[in-house]
Amino acid sequence: MKQNLKIDGWHNNLTFSSSHLIIDHHHCGRLHGHTYAVSLYLKGHATKDGMIVDFSVLKTFLREIIATLDHKLLIPAHDTTHIKESNNTIHIQTDSKSYQIPKEDCVLLPIPQTTAEYLSRYLLQTLLGRYSPPKNVELISLGISEGPGQSAWSSHNNEGCTS
């Protein structure tokens, strides 16, 4: 019988606070921050011990990953048009604004933009780089919430598809 497992980031304190901007977006183009929560959903079959996977293992991996983002400015490293680095400083140039931030206050992410959608993909790929779901897991989905009621999710199935 298929079963579902869910780890709610808000209730399990799987949260981090970061700032970002979505370059040239009419509203989110201003430097601002969120307290994000990371949640996980798995679908699969319970093993002989009655579990799909051990909650604590997944929560440990998630805490390690989100600790690298906490209290940092999230920078989309793939945007080489607006983002430059020199002398341990990150330079951000938009159509109307210019920022200079110490590199130590930033985390450069291998994504084109710091939207919730791209962040969910990045976090799921990072998790899967550290944790291989067992064969009884059919689907693993990771969601990042910018506040209660608004989140973006990315999924991976055991055939290796990520969306």
Query: Is the CB of residue 114 less than 8 Å from the CB of residue 25?
Result: no
Assigned domain for 76 exists: yes
Per residue in 24-39, pLDDT tens?
777 887 899 999 999 9
Q: What is the pTM of this model?
A: 0.93
Active site residue 25: no
Q: Find, among 132, 128, 130, the residue nearest to 142 by Cα.
A: 128
Active site residue 71: yes
Active site residue 106: no
Q: Which member of 28, 82, 85, 91 is catalytic?
A: 28
Q: Which member of 11, 25, 32, 71 is catalytic?
A: 71
- Provide the domain limits for residue 104: 2-157
| Residues 59-78, mean pLDDT to the nearest whole number | 98
Surface-to-core class of residue 131, CB atoms within 10 Å of its CB (0-12 exposed, 13-18 middle, 19+ buried): middle
CATH number of the domain to which 65 belongs: 3.30.479.10
| pLDDT value of position 71 | 98
Per residue in 47-67, pLDDT tens?
999 999 999 999 999 999 999
Question: Which of the residue ranges 7-11, 18-22, 145-149 would you say has the lowest mean pLDDT?
Answer: 145-149
